[in-house]
Amino acid sequence: MKNKYSIFSLARNALSYHQRWQTAWRSPEPKKQYDVIIIGGGGHGLATAYYLAKECGITNVAILEKSWIGGGNTGRNTTIVRSNYLWDESAAIYDHAMDLWSDLSQELNYNVMFSPRGLLHLAHSVHDMQEISRRGHSNHLNGIDAEFLNPEQIKKMLPFIELDCRYPVMGGILQKRGGTARHDAVAWGYARAADALGVDIIQNCEVTGFNIRDGAVCGVQTSRGQISAKKVGVVTAGHCSVLAEMAGFRLPIESFPLQAMVSEPVKPIVDCVAMSNGVHAYISQSDKGELVIGASSDTYTSYTQTGGFDVIEETIGAIVELYPLFSRMKMMRQWGGIVDVTVDRSPILSKTPVDNLFFNCGWGTGGFKATPGSGHVFAHSIANGEMHPIAAPFSIDRFHTGGLIDEGAAAAVAH
Amino acid sequence: MKQPNRLEHGGRIDRDRAIEMQFDGQTLSAFEGDTLASAMLANGLKIVARGFKYHRPRGVFSAGVEEPNALVHLRSGARHEPNARATVVEAYDGLQSTGQNAWPGVRFDISAVNQLLAPFIGAGFYYKTFMGPVKGTAFWMFCEKFIRRAAGMGRAQTVADPDEYEKVNAFCDVLVIGGGPAGLAAAIAAGQCGARVILLEQDACLGGSMLSLPVGGESDACLKAMEATLKGMDNVRILKRTTVFGAYDQDVYGAVERVWDHVEVPPAHQPRQRYWQIRTKQAVMATGAIERPLVFANNDRPGVMLANAVRSYVNRYAVLPGKKIVLATNNDSAYAVAADLVRAGAEVSLLDARVSVPAELFKPLEALGVQLYPGYGILAAKGSRGVSGAKIVLLDENGCARGPSKTIRCDLIAVSGGWTPVVHLWSQRGQKLQFDEQSASFLPLKSASSTLKTAGSANACGDLNQALLQGEVAGQEAAKAVTGVVGVQVNVPRLKEAIYADDWARDLLMIWSVTREDGSTDGKAFVDVQHDVALSDIDLAHREGFVSVEHLKRYTTTGMATDQGKLSNINALARMAQLQALSIPKVGTTTFRPPYTPIAIGAIAGREQGIHFRPTRLTPVHDWHVDNAAVMIEAGAWKRPWYYPEGGETINQAYVREAAHVRKHVGVVDASTLGKIAVQGPDAAEFLNRVYVNAWKKLKIGRLRYGVMLRDDGIVLDDGATARLGENDYFMTTTTANAAKILGYLEHLLQTAWTDLKVHVTSVSDQYAAFAVAGPSARDLLDAVCSGADLSNEALPNNQFVKATIAGVPVRINRMSYSGELAYEVYVASGYAHAVWKNLFKAGASFDIKPYGTESMGALRIEKGHVAGPEIDGRTTLGDLGLAGFASRVKPFSGSVLRHREKLDMASRPTLVGLEIDGDTGGMAGSLIYDQRAQQMGEEQGFLTSTTYSPALKKYISLALLRDGHERFGESVDIVNHVGDTVQTAKVVSPHFFDPEGARQNA
């Protein structure tokens, strides 16, 4: 890498007052033609481009981003990483990501700050207990770590939790390998590494249409002109339905606002990630010291990146109920993103009715954690023209066959 | 402590009420009307905090909500609060505060050694290192511990908050946000036009910027007159200490009133804060503006302050924070400040980045003896623990030094870089901003909103009279839009003549950063003081390609501190624009998000804590259950009897006894929690026929039927019985858990898919109680207690109902069975439920009647193979649950198309079976099923859904979903539990364990 990052390069540059750092990625003019175009410069798109160049030998790749890279859900999520999913298909893709997460900083030569500080799901009812029991079993079978904790063990991890609340904490399931990462760094790290391998990252370039000949895509129309491509991958999260419509088909996806918030920064107090589906309270603490709190998605479809305050009220109620000491903490910022939700709350990684056009979307409320795995298998799928075995079950065909991978059905909560 | 900086006269403080406060062990003398910050300044405190990253000493910087430096720990114990801004903490006697993010204290802080590391820890340094020499996360997690400890600001409290909070919903015609001159004028005008007005002001006093003007001046008279006018208007409600933190869709505004935050402990039964959710027809945003700082080397030293903040301290609090003051500006608004400072006894040098200034501005100052430096700026502040001088230079048009610098000795530097209108709420509504060159600020694009108007400084308006006029017009227009009445005469006070020097938006010169000739600075020059982001960080980000404004923000963390960029925004944008050779509007701005200022989490939760976190629903006979020692269980919002222990029974003993009793004698379970929906209208039968999988058109009056609903993708949604009460009148029941969901689903269908159907659905769950009476003696019992009905098997077979009375109370008796016994459901209006229940028990004594709870109800239904929540889990089909026979083959229904997709019709899907478990321990739901002797890892064959001990079979049984289940009756399988690490064996049987022919329920 032209400009390797390390403690030594940092020291060396400090001596020259940091005047000699190069740009993290270039800002090239789009070429006329690429082997692969990736639409969408979020984490998944950037990772796809990186693995295309790194592992598939395809370096004539462009990422077209309507705005700034990492600006969609990559830069708006609560940064939680885990892989303890119920179904084998989900476990495979999220745990594939987990394997990549652990070495990602070294892989990209960029500190993405992945910190497996432990991820705890709380159970508040007999039903919750049954759910985590079944999921824990399934995790064991898939080689995913899952440890059942009793309330006393939970209290040890979260000393300030109120176990005896309206819906008392009856137990929990811990994935020690789960944790958080720095979301922006993931986008920037992949961008910088992809760029170094020759990938063109083109920001402020909006795709306005597809060029399709004989049922196969051969290029895209953009706000910066026509660009031809042998293959195109669409990774545009909340706006994938819009892109699909441009390509002439419909996706079984609805887009909802999903909100989150942070508190003012304080000294370390929450060490792990604690999630509670039963009362809907997700909390962790960022390295900067903010409590990061995730809310549920709004109940109506929308493309506005805001959402209703009632959702925040409900989430805050749950947080105060479980962690009464946070009542005097102050909320500093509240925001929303647009999540693309499928009926089974599992993603779509798929070929499409248009040849050489691939879609990777529908990650709903849980896409960040999958970023490396999603990019990795999607890159291989595009390169080979056939879906990678881990990606194959997530084909769009499943909505026709009924072979759903239903992660959200029973609890119908964000995951 | 003496108050060395307190002026002899003036101020809006109450000198008769002296108080004492504590900061970091020092006693501060002050007066009521002070803030913690004004008291700190009055007492001569210079260092009150430490910087976030480099731990440089910091002093009070502003006089308002934008304060970046003076964040303190307020109070102690359970009422401890981190990151309190001293500038808005109202003084009270006995106030306790300490410095934060410093050890041992803010005056001497060990972490100040971080300054030595400053060359290494610039913007984004952490992305470039800490990755470690080997793969994995161990090295990073080691480093991260130290980083986490170093980061953060204040220390969170560690015990529960003792205070209470409230929520209020309010409605008005015109919401006026901001009680400064424009807001007061708007409230008066809107009120005089007849609108119902709510006026919200974040400060403890009305007046806004007028409070910073000299005491006793004409503006005071004007303010008094406005306050008097408002006092006489009973259609105007005024809330002080109330901040509008967010603006939401449909003109909903969120505000937090700090009701009793200005005392140590709120009075008994009074809330600390109150959260207001206000729905309004029109709003006037009179939110004012925040002064911008200037950027130069060491601009964070204690003793560098915003110019108009110094003016506030002098005029409002009678505190003069310095004697020899250097005032630097790029606009007109510092001139009035200079005059007030001189009158208060300071020696003032005024630097103006502009070379030519109108005579109206500088002439009066010359007369007061102010030393003027046109074309000058500050290159660096001198002094380390406080300002001791200012290095000043002549500037070129880019803000670079031209020629040698000279030093002026001083003890205070006051700066003004113009003003940033507070447009947060406007932006939150998604409305457009446009850049105004004259004031160099982003302003609301007025035509953009029809329900939100702007007035005063938020609009970059001119002088005080203009603010009053804008407020008046906005208030009038807002009222007109609501009332529709035009031409109402309004009467808002005005000043006789405007003060020229107050016109701050005029002639600003867009220079904010002062550097040496080569663009470098003579030390750290901070753009975001709170987050320790320096000019050099902005430059580095630019160099590394973080050119999008959002990238710059995220890479450098500019604007991401608790002040959310209130001071730093424009200065950072200006530097970026300079580096990219673009205009500021081309660079763009980041998104404003709620809250405007941080709000207490407790306030938003309000009273919805503890048992009020979710409403607790109790059935009409709840008290009876409690009196009869029932152990209750949470079922969503409901509390239900779980079991009724007798003589120290455990749950296992109790439920087994209860279930056995039902099979032998008679038992009653309170089923009032079932969802009950009245489905009414001429098309009700057609509607039911579409939502249920089975046929409904021929159901006669007096009959009832079990039905199953599917989601539109063919998965089972819910089940329950529906009775036909009359020609167009059906009574549907749903499961307890899905009551609200099904009502919503039916409403959705009626309002979107089948708008032509004449059907109304109404929840009557709370209107009726329901009791299931089950057991061989059920009929005899009801015969004994009911009158007016023939309950014989001939007159009332299964799936019919009759009307009767019990103790004179009308009831409906459904003959149907969930337990598999001869059973009836008694429906009665909730208000009479207790009486009916008691009568059942009175009459039942001779039949040995017993109540039974949900646990034994579960045991009974498992014995019968009835499905419930654990089986209807959102993933199962009719076929999976053995219910395919219910589905009509002739009519379409919701889900009828998609349920036949190939993967949903596959024969190998897991289907419902029963398991008879060997041995004397029960299975655990969620356990996995394997072929016997197969390796117990890898793909399982199925899992246990509901388990129980069966008193009827005298063994442990379970319902399960098992691959090819129906073909495996008689087979032995292994049940593996990974939690308890146990393996059991079981025999696969039909899920209808007990009385499969139904002889008992038809008896």
Do B979 and A137 lie within an 8 Å CB cutoff? yes
Q: What does the pLDDT read at residue A413?
A: 41
Query: In the predicted model, what is the mean pLDDT of residues B346-355?
Result: 97
pLDDT at position A343: 87
Interface contact B129-A6, CB threshold 8 A: yes
Entry pTM: 0.94
Q: Which candidate, A370, A103, A177, places its Cα nearest to that of B131?
A: A103
Closest CA to A292 of A415, A367, A180: A180
Phi, psi angles (nearest 5°) of residue A104: -65, -40
Query: What residues of chain A lie within 8 A of the CB of B873, using their CB?
Result: 409-410
Q: What is the DSSP letter of B621?
A: T
Mean pLDDT of B22-26: 95
pLDDT at B863 over 70: yes
Q: What is the pLDDT of residue A410?
A: 43
- All residues of chain A having their beta carbon less than 8 Å from the beta carbon of residue B243 are none
- Tell me which chain B residue has its CA closest to the CA of residue A25: B545
Domain B1-159's class? alpha beta
A167:B430 CB<8 A: no
Q: What distances in angstroms separate CA B594 from CA A103, A177, B253, B427, B974, one per listed residue? A: 36, 34, 11, 10, 56
Among all chains, which residue has been given the structure tokens 């009196």?
B627
Q: Which residues of A touch B80 (CB under 8 A)?
A: 328
CB contact under 8 A, B137 and A111: no
Residue A321, chain B, CB below 8 Å: the answer is: yes
pLDDT, position B446:
77
Q: How far apart are CA A353 and CA A396, in angstroms?
A: 10
Average model confidence (pLDDT) for chain A? 94
> Distance between CA B718 and CA B744 in Å, rounded?
13
The CA angle B998-B944-B771, to the nearest 5 degrees, is 45
CA atoms within 13 A on the CB side of B62: 22
Contact A134 B926 (CB under 8 A): yes
Beta pairing partners, B855: none
| pLDDT of res. B938 | 61
- Give the nearest partner residue to B144 out of A162, A287, A343, using CB atoms: A287
Provide CB contacts within 8 A for B72, sequence distance 6+: B23, B36, B48, B49, B84, B86, B89, B97, B98, B99, B100, B154
Please judge whether A265 and B149 are an interchain contact, meaning their C-beta atoms are less than 8 angstroms apart.
no
Q: Which of residues 382-411 of A touch B (CB under 8 A)?
A: 398, 400-404, 406, 409-410
Q: Are residues A6 and B715, on separate chains, in Cβ contact within 8 Å?
A: no
Is it true that B165-289+421-483 and B293-417 share their CATH fold? yes
* Nearest chain B CA: its distance from A213 CA (Å): 32
User: Other C-beta atoms within 10 Å of B753: how many?
Assistant: 12
Phi, psi at residue B762, to the nearest 5°? -135, 130
Q: Which residue of A has its CA nearest to B937?
A: A141
Q: Do the strands A179-180 and A200-202 form a parallel or antiparallel pair, or are they unpaired?
A: unpaired
Which residue in the set B82, B161, B903 is minimally distant from A266, CB to CB?
A: B82
In this complex, the residue of B601, B611, B925 whose CB is nearest that of residue A263 is: B601
Confidence label for A409 from pLDDT (cuts 50, 70 and 90)? low
A21 touches chain B (CB under 8 A): yes
Residue with tokens 């975001």: B528
Closest-CA distance, A212 to chain B, in angstroms, reads 31
CA distance B935 to chain A (A): 11
Q: Which of B431, B604, B747, B947 to mutate to test the interface with A (most CBs of A within 10 A)?
A: B604
Residue of B nearest to A7 (CA): B129
What is the tens place of the pLDDT at every residue in B775-788?
999 999 999 999 99
Q: Where are the domains of chain B?
A: 1-159, 165-289+421-483, 293-417, 526-580, 628-671+781-859, 675-763, 897-989
Looking at CA atoms only, how far is residue A64 from chain B in angstroms? 15
Nearest Cβ partner for A401 among B147, B903, B927: B903
A76-91 pLDDT, tens digit per residue, is 999 999 999 999 999 9
- Alpha-carbon distance of B313 to B324, in angstroms, equals 16
Which residues have a Cβ under 8 Å from the Cβ of B793 and sit 6 or more positions away?
Answer: B779, B1002, B1003
What single DSSP character describes residue B313? H
Query: In terms of CA atoms, which chain B residue is nearest residue A16?
Result: B119
Contact between A325 and B156 using a beta-carbon 8 Å cutoff: yes
In the predicted structure, residue B570 carries a pLDDT above the cut 70: yes
Q: What ipTM does this complex have?
A: 0.96
On whether the CB atoms of residues B69 and B48 are closer than 8 A, the answer is yes
C-alpha dist (Å) from residue B82 to A126, B77, B93, B857:
38, 12, 20, 52
DSSP for residue B980: T
Non-local CB neighbours of B457 within 8 Å, separated by 6+ positions: B180, B182, B209, B288, B289, B419, B421, B422, B467, B504
- For residue A361, the distance in angstroms to the closest alpha carbon of chain B comes to 20
Query: Mutating which of B85, B554, B747, B924 best tests the A interface, going by the most A Cβ atoms within 10 A?
Result: B554
Q: Give the C-alpha separation, B171 to B163, whole Å.
A: 27
Nearest to B52 by CA among B129, B109, B127, B96: B109
Q: Which two tokens stand for residue B11?
A: 């101020």
At residue B808, the 3 state secondary structure works out as coil
* Whether the Cβ atoms of residue B295 and residue B513 lie closer than 8 Å to each other: yes
Beta-bridge partner residues of B435? B442
Cβ-contact B655, B853 below 8 angstroms: yes
- Helix (H), strand (E) counts: chain A: 11, 18
Nearest to A312 among B128, B161, B604 (CB): B604
Question: Where do runs of H (alpha helix) occur along A197-304?
Answer: 240-247
Residues of chain B with Cβ-Cβ distance to A162 below 8 Å are: 160
Q: Which of A296-300, B270-274, B841-845 is the least confident region?
A: A296-300
How many C-beta atoms lie closer than 10 Å to residue A274's C-beta?
23
Q: Look at the block and give the residue holding tokens 């398991």.
A: B915
Residues 6+ apart with CB under 8 A from B981: none
Instruction: Report, at the CATH architecture level, how domain B897-989 is classified.
Output: Beta Barrel (2.40)
Residues 6+ apart with CB under 8 A from B39: B21, B28, B29, B30, B91
CATH of B675-763, one of 3.20.20.70, 3.30.450.80, 3.30.70.250, 3.30.70.1400: 3.30.70.1400
Q: For residue B749, which of B763, B759, B764 has the smallest C-alpha distance? A: B759
Fold for B165-289+421-483, please state it. FAD/NAD(P)-binding domain (3.50.50)
- The pLDDT tens digits for B705-715 are 999 999 999 99
Is the pLDDT at B502 greater than 70? The verdict is no
- Residue B601 has its nearest CB partner, among A115, A309, A319, at A319
Say whether A321 and B613 touch across the interface (CB within 8 A).
yes
Interface test with B, best of A20, A305, A310, A320 (most B CBs within 10 A): A320
Distance from CA of A180 to the nearest CA of B (A): 11
Six token digits for residue B861: 């239904």
Tell me the fold of B293-417.
FAD/NAD(P)-binding domain (3.50.50)
Query: How much is the pLDDT for B936?
Result: 59
Indicate if the pLDDT at residue B772 is higher than 90.
yes
Asked if A303 reaches chain B (Cβ–Cβ under 8 Å), the answer is no
Give tens-digit pLDDT for B927-977.
889 888 666 556 678 999 999 999 999 999 999 999 999 899 999 999 988
Cis check: omega of the bond before B595, within 30 degrees of 0: yes
Say yes or no to pLDDT of B666 above 80. yes
Please identify among residues 109-148 of chain A the ones whose CB lies closer than 8 Å to any CB of chain B. Answer: 109-111, 113-117, 125-127, 130-131, 133-134, 136-137, 140-141, 148
Q: Which residues contact B451 (CB under 8 A, 6 or more apart)?
A: B251, B281, B282, B283, B481
Is B544 in contact with A22 (Cβ distance < 8 A)?
Answer: yes
List, for residues B102-116, the tens digit of each pLDDT value: 999 999 999 999 999
Query: What is the distance between the alpha carbons of residues B262 and B247, in angstroms, rounded to a whole number?
Result: 26
Q: Which of A114, A131, A400 sits opposite B137 (nearest CB)?
A: A114
Instruction: Measure in Å the smallest separation between the Cα of A154 and chain B Cα atoms.
Output: 16
Q: Is A266 on the interface with B (CB under 8 A)?
A: yes
Q: What is the C-alpha end-to-end distance of chain A, expressed in Å?
A: 36
Q: Residue A173 pairs with which residues in a beta bridge?
A: A121, A148
d(CA B850, CA A53): 73
Residue A296's pLDDT is: 87
Is B927–A306 a contact, with Cβ atoms under 8 angstroms apart? no
User: Residue A140: enclosing H or E segment and its boundaries?
Assistant: helix A126-141
**How near does any CA of chain B get to the CA of A136, in Å?**
8
Contact at CB, A115 and B81, closer than 8 angstroms: no
Q: Which of B120, B605, B634 sits opposite A10 (nearest CB)?
A: B120
Would you call A330 and B599 a contact, using CB atoms and an 8 Å cutoff? yes
Question: Residue A414: what pLDDT?
Answer: 41
Shortest CA gap B283–chain A (Å): 18
Cβ contacts of B651 on chain A, cutoff 8 Å = none
* CB–CB contact B161 A403 (8 Å): no
The answer to whether B457 and B209 have CB atoms below 8 angstroms apart is yes
Residue A281, pLDDT > 90, answer no
Q: β-pairing, B371-374 with B376-382?
A: unpaired
Could you give the residue ranges of the DSSP H alpha helices within B635-777? 651-664, 684-691, 739-748
Name the CATH code of domain B628-671+781-859 (choices 3.40.50.1100, 3.40.228.10, 3.40.50.10800, 3.30.1360.120): 3.30.1360.120
pLDDT higher than 80, residue B1? no
For A273, B415, B574, the CA distances from B584, given in Å and listed in that order, are 40, 21, 6
CB contact under 8 A, A265 and B562: yes
Please give the structure tokens belonging to residue B1002. 């038809």
- The pLDDT of residue A158 is above 70: yes
